[in-house]
Protein backbone atom coordinates (compact mmCIF):
# COMPACT_ATOMS: atom_id res chain seq x y z
CA UNK A 1 0.00 0.00 0.00
CA UNK A 2 2.73 2.39 0.96
CA UNK A 3 4.79 1.20 -1.96
CA UNK A 4 1.87 1.68 -4.31
CA UNK A 5 1.44 5.28 -3.22
CA UNK A 6 5.15 5.90 -3.54
CA UNK A 7 5.07 4.55 -7.09
CA UNK A 8 2.14 6.80 -7.95
CA UNK A 9 3.90 9.89 -6.69
CA UNK A 10 7.03 8.95 -8.58
CA UNK A 11 5.00 8.55 -11.74
CA UNK A 12 3.58 12.04 -11.33
CA UNK A 13 7.06 13.32 -10.61
CA UNK A 14 8.25 11.99 -13.94
CA UNK A 15 5.27 13.42 -15.82
CA UNK A 16 5.87 16.87 -14.37
CA UNK A 17 9.58 16.72 -15.16
CA UNK A 18 8.80 15.71 -18.74
CA UNK A 19 6.70 18.87 -19.05
CA UNK A 20 9.51 21.04 -17.72
CA UNK A 21 7.96 21.50 -14.27
CA UNK A 22 9.99 21.04 -11.11
CA UNK A 23 8.03 18.48 -9.07
CA UNK A 24 7.50 20.08 -5.68
CA UNK A 25 5.33 18.29 -3.15
CA UNK A 26 2.52 20.85 -3.58
CA UNK A 27 2.54 20.47 -7.36
CA UNK A 28 2.45 16.70 -7.14
CA UNK A 29 -0.51 16.82 -4.76
CA UNK A 30 -2.46 19.23 -6.97
CA UNK A 31 -1.74 17.10 -10.03
CA UNK A 32 -2.86 13.98 -8.23
CA UNK A 33 -6.05 15.67 -7.08
CA UNK A 34 -7.19 17.07 -10.44
CA UNK A 35 -6.27 13.84 -12.20
CA UNK A 36 -8.63 11.90 -9.95
CA UNK A 37 -11.42 14.44 -9.57
CA UNK A 38 -13.20 14.97 -12.83
CA UNK A 39 -15.91 17.18 -11.36
CA UNK A 40 -14.26 20.44 -12.48
CA UNK A 41 -13.08 21.70 -9.10
CA UNK A 42 -12.51 25.36 -8.26
CA UNK A 43 -9.39 26.70 -6.55
CA UNK A 44 -11.27 26.73 -3.28
CA UNK A 45 -12.38 23.12 -3.65
CA UNK A 46 -8.86 21.95 -4.37
CA UNK A 47 -7.46 24.00 -1.51
CA UNK A 48 -9.91 22.56 1.01
CA UNK A 49 -9.33 19.04 -0.26
CA UNK A 50 -5.56 18.92 0.08
CA UNK A 51 -4.80 21.45 2.80
CA UNK A 52 -5.40 18.61 5.27
CA UNK A 53 -2.29 16.83 4.00
CA UNK A 54 -0.25 20.04 3.81
CA UNK A 55 -0.93 22.12 6.92
CA UNK A 56 1.09 25.13 5.77
CA UNK A 57 -0.54 25.26 2.35
CA UNK A 58 -1.51 28.67 1.04
CA UNK A 59 -4.31 29.34 -1.40
CA UNK A 60 -1.94 31.51 -3.42
CA UNK A 61 0.09 28.38 -4.08
CA UNK A 62 -2.95 26.70 -5.63
CA UNK A 63 -3.44 29.74 -7.87
CA UNK A 64 0.22 29.68 -8.87
CA UNK A 65 0.22 25.97 -9.62
CA UNK A 66 -3.00 26.03 -11.63
CA UNK A 67 -1.85 29.01 -13.69
CA UNK A 68 1.37 27.13 -14.37
CA UNK A 69 -0.46 23.92 -15.28
CA UNK A 70 -2.76 25.86 -17.62
CA UNK A 71 0.23 27.43 -19.35
CA UNK A 72 1.87 24.00 -19.73
CA UNK A 73 -1.28 22.42 -21.12
CA UNK A 74 -2.02 20.15 -18.16
CA UNK A 75 -5.35 21.70 -17.21
CA UNK A 76 -8.10 23.44 -19.10
CA UNK A 77 -9.49 26.69 -17.68
CA UNK A 78 -13.30 26.67 -17.73
CA UNK A 79 -15.09 30.03 -17.59
CA UNK A 80 -18.55 28.50 -17.77
CA UNK A 81 -19.32 29.65 -14.21
CA UNK A 82 -19.07 33.43 -14.01
CA UNK A 83 -18.44 33.38 -10.26
CA UNK A 84 -15.21 31.41 -10.28
CA UNK A 85 -12.85 29.65 -12.64
CA UNK A 86 -13.14 25.87 -12.79
CA UNK A 87 -10.30 23.54 -13.81
CA UNK A 88 -10.44 20.43 -15.91
CA UNK A 89 -7.72 17.84 -16.30
CA UNK A 90 -7.02 17.65 -20.03
CA UNK A 91 -7.75 14.25 -21.50
CA UNK A 92 -9.43 14.71 -24.84
CA UNK A 93 -11.81 17.29 -26.24
CA UNK A 94 -15.26 17.23 -24.71
CA UNK A 95 -18.11 19.61 -23.92
CA UNK A 96 -19.59 20.72 -20.59
CA UNK A 97 -23.05 21.08 -19.17
CA UNK A 98 -23.72 23.36 -16.19
CA UNK A 99 -26.95 23.08 -14.22
CA UNK A 100 -28.60 26.42 -13.46
CA UNK A 101 -30.28 24.92 -10.39
CA UNK A 102 -27.58 22.98 -8.54
CA UNK A 103 -24.45 24.40 -10.20
CA UNK A 104 -23.02 20.98 -11.03
CA UNK A 105 -20.86 20.76 -14.15
CA UNK A 106 -21.02 17.55 -16.18
CA UNK A 107 -18.74 16.26 -18.91
CA UNK A 108 -20.54 15.79 -22.21
CA UNK A 109 -19.01 13.39 -24.69
CA UNK A 110 -20.04 14.78 -27.99
CA UNK A 111 -18.63 14.11 -31.39
CA UNK A 112 -18.81 17.23 -33.44
CA UNK A 113 -16.84 18.81 -36.22
CA UNK A 114 -16.83 22.01 -34.14
CA UNK A 115 -14.00 20.69 -31.95
CA UNK A 116 -11.69 19.95 -34.85
CA UNK A 117 -11.36 23.36 -36.44
CA UNK A 118 -7.90 24.92 -36.70
CA UNK A 119 -9.20 28.17 -38.17
CA UNK A 120 -12.58 29.92 -38.05
CA UNK A 121 -13.23 32.89 -40.33
CA UNK A 122 -9.51 33.61 -40.54
CA UNK A 123 -8.76 33.39 -36.78
CA UNK A 124 -6.32 30.77 -35.50
CA UNK A 125 -8.04 28.46 -33.00
CA UNK A 126 -6.08 27.17 -30.01
CA UNK A 127 -8.89 26.22 -27.60
CA UNK A 128 -12.48 25.26 -28.25
CA UNK A 129 -15.18 25.22 -25.60
CA UNK A 130 -18.71 23.96 -26.02
CA UNK A 131 -20.82 24.89 -23.00
CA UNK A 132 -24.41 23.94 -22.40
CA UNK A 133 -26.51 25.40 -19.59
CA UNK A 134 -29.93 24.30 -18.40
CA UNK A 135 -31.45 21.88 -15.92
CA UNK A 136 -29.57 18.65 -15.24
CA UNK A 137 -31.24 15.27 -15.15
CA UNK A 138 -31.05 15.14 -11.35
CA UNK A 139 -32.91 18.44 -10.95
CA UNK A 140 -35.50 17.77 -13.64
Partner DNA sequence: TTATAATTTGTAATCATTTCAACTCTATAA
Partner DNA sequence: TTATAGAGTTGAAATGATTACAAATTATAA
**Beta bridge mates, 97:** 106, 132
Contact pick of 11, 39, 63, 110 for DNA (by CB under 7 A): 63
Q: Does 15 bind DNA (CB under 7 A)?
A: no
CA of 2: how far to CAs of 8, 28, 46, 132, in Å? 10, 16, 23, 42
Could you say whether residue 70 binds a second copy (CB under 8 A)? no
d(CA 42, CA 84): 7
| Cα torsion through 5, 10, 15, 16, rounded to 10 | 100
In degrees and rounded to multiples of 5, residue 108 shows phi and psi of: -120, 125
**Residue 58 contact partner, candidates a second copy, DNA, none, CB within 5 to 8 A by sort of partner:** DNA
CB 88 within 8 A of CB 78: yes
- Which of 57, 95 has the CB closer to DNA? 57
By beta-carbon proximity to DNA, the closer residue of 51 and 115 is 51
* 1: Cα separation from own chain's centroid: 27
Dist CA 59 CA 81 (whole Å): 20
Question: Is residue 42 a contact residue for DNA (CB under 7 A)?
Answer: yes
Q: Is 56 in the site for DNA (CB under 7 A)?
A: yes
Residue 21 binding DNA, by CB under 7 A: yes
Least distance from a second copy to the Cβ atom of residue 97, Å: 5
**CB under 7 A: which stretch of 81-89, 104-112, 115-123, 130-138 binds DNA?**
81-89
Residues making contact with a second copy (CB under 8 A):
77, 79-82, 85, 95, 97, 99-100, 106, 108-110, 112-114, 117, 120-137, 140
Amino acid sequence: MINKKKTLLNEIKEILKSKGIKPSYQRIMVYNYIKNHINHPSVDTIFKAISGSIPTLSKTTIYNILNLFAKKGIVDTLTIDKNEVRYDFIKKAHAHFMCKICGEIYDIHLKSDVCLKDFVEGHKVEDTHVDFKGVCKECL
